[in-house]
Structure 1
Amino acid sequence: MRLFGIILIVSTTLFPAYQLAILPNISDSLALFSQYLGLAALILMAWAQIMATKFRLIETLFGSLDYVYILHKWTGIIALIAILLHDTIDADMEGFGQETWLSDIAETMGELSLYGILVLCVISIATFIPYHLWKWTHKFMGAMFILGAIHFIFILKPFSMTDAAGFYTFVFCLVGALAYLWNLLPEHLRPSHSYVITEITPTGDAIAITLRPKSRQIKANAGQFGIFRFVGAGNQEAHPFSFSKIGAHGELRLTVKSLGDYTTRLPNIIAIGQDVSVQGPFGRFCQPKVRENIWIAGGIGITPFLPIAHTLTENADTVTLFYCVKSRAQAPHLSEIEQLSRDKPTLKLHIIASDEGQRLTAEKIATLTGENMQSVRVAFCGPKTLREALQTGLRRYGLRPSHFKYEAFEFRTGIGLDKLAIYLLTKMKNQYSSRTNTHQNNT
């Protein structure tokens, strides 16, 4: 994740605070702060929609797409917090005109946006909710953003839409709305590359799918991934997979292990000769100018390392690969990586098989490599539990946190806040009850 991208989001979100601070004749600073929170929420939600487009510029600004998804998630969470505070702190100010039917509609739009975002955020952060429900409902997040934008445009406020604060936020709303419309496009209408399946081969407890380009090929680098949609397979869902091999003539190979509903179903709905739509390439796991000394692969996590291993030359720095598997029989591409270790003198391979009583630890890594951990760089792809254990252990041996690189392929993750999901539902219920009682009392 690039620091520049984080600074860009923070600075663009903070800028309206200055624009509001210089407004004349404002006595209610608390209400003005609530006004700012509303603007900040809209800007953050616009950024979330922009990041979801997966345009090439996004990785340039924010880093690898797998980390962009994490930033997208946290941007949405912070936007939700801003919305809740904006709703809690009274933003009403006197002296800005009479309420009209248009401003009344804008108020209603704001409430619909609030409740909608609360529900959708609960679904997003509560990982116990099924993936297919999350993906379907997540599309409505942009619609709630547009309702919030309408609320902002027509509500009574201490500045006009032609003032700096109004125009600045409106531009973000417009760009965010355009990004949302782009995100609504069906996958088959998005820019992609056409491939065809030429081979399906079992490998360990996974299958390797080889693809040949039908026309223009993807110009991918070792360590990158694509988003694949298997055309006519009775399933229009697109899914990310690392390239486990990149051929000289544009051939691609992806390796799929049964880890969820989609990957379990996939082997039964694909066939040789079938068309595949590929978006990408994405990811920056391989940095040509910064070669990691130690590679750690857990099971199917071997896939991004395979094409990188193929690029190793005799003059390259020595790389030590730890391949952690349940058993050798279940290890995907085991014979291929063993052959590469024989052909590449700069690649040292260690197979860590659980059924043989082996377990990878920070101590074992330090002992087998003989490296000074303060100067090495580690690349990891595998289960989260193994990653966290090794990160903690290697730090004790002097490894810098910034020198431990990993792929964050968990595009839909919780944040350990199932309790927050319950809190948000309660908050929504209380807000609804409060507004209902206020309406009844006024009536």
Structure 2
Amino acid sequence: MNFDYSDKSIALQEKLKDFLETYVHPIEKEVELFHQNPENSWKRWPGMEALKQKAKNAGLWNVFLPSAYGELSPGLSNLEYAPLAEIMGRIIWSSEIFNCSPPDTGNMEVLAKYGNPDQQDKWLKPLLNGEIRSAFLMTEPDVASSDATNIETSIISDGNDYVINGRKWWSSGAMDPNCKIAIVMGKTNFDAPRHVQQSMVLVPMDTPGLKIERALSVFGYTDSPEGHAEIILDNVRVPKSNLLLGEGRGFEIAQGRLGPGRIHHCMRLIGMAQRSLEIMSKRTVQRKPFGRTLDTFSSIRQDIALSACEIEQTRLLVLSAADKMDKVGNKEAKDLIAMIKIVTPQMALRVIDRAIQILGGKGVGSDTPLAHFYAAARTLRLADGPDEVHMSQLGKSTINKYVKK
């Protein structure tokens, strides 16, 4: 395996680092304080659009798309994009500046791969241009949504329309004032075989019957402005032309959507862990308990050494998954994708926890990003499938490799 990055990726990495250093790090605290102010709930930081235009001008726009889409994407492979996602992960909210923020990335990939020309013209183009944002509605409060075949939202044919009824939650992106379209997963045929009951349909956020019941917080963080919402779908009517790909193909779309997204999530987590390592390393020479700086204590050195090892191990595993996805596709890379989804959030949590411990009281407050990093990493042991599901599937696949049937 050769994980040397292409010249294109290396050039974009340097450009991205320079951009963050020049434009983002100086206003990082300003943006966070803006969103921590309750008066600004679900409002967008006023300088975001100007930053996004700078990113466009710099050629740092839509770099997540694994294949070129006209002039709106540089057409990077998963392996080429992975280090860029890591760099963005160092600042939780920075991905949006480059139009690389979930759930938009996954939704754009769905529309690019499965949408028809009319759907792409109406929704994909404004998403690629950063003119609107989107939401993804799959998880439900009343069923175990870790098994997507359990979802109960109904998408029932009625003449030229579909009528949708159900309740969704943890609908990422739905609170953003610029969120204009949702991809909704539900069942068009409850009697079909288990994995072909589901379909996905495009639902504009202003459709009558779609009601945001409440915003949901994660360990006290609202993740404003995009947030997470609980949504009621009450006789929501959309034309059949809003269906993606075809009836009964929702599960197929979901599997195609989540593969690249898991690479993105894992590399952003590695960015959080890497920044946490840097923060705790710098702290060790600044604090002097018991007459000596922290860096002279063996236990502190061990924590930092172990963190460095675990970050690099996980980074290489994620790059291996990205490389295999590029070469043989998501389906053939599914075991590696499961591995990174199991390993990466747990690694990030361990590293962030060590950083918090070394920083002491400062680590649990809002003066550093560590507490928010911890909340985000813990959430990703659930998002895109809980650890237990990935371990069950990976365990079954591994056993089948060594057991003759």
Q: TM-score, normalised by structure 2?
A: 0.29
TM-score after normalising by structure 1? 0.27
Q: Please say which structure displays the higher CA radius of gyration.
A: 1
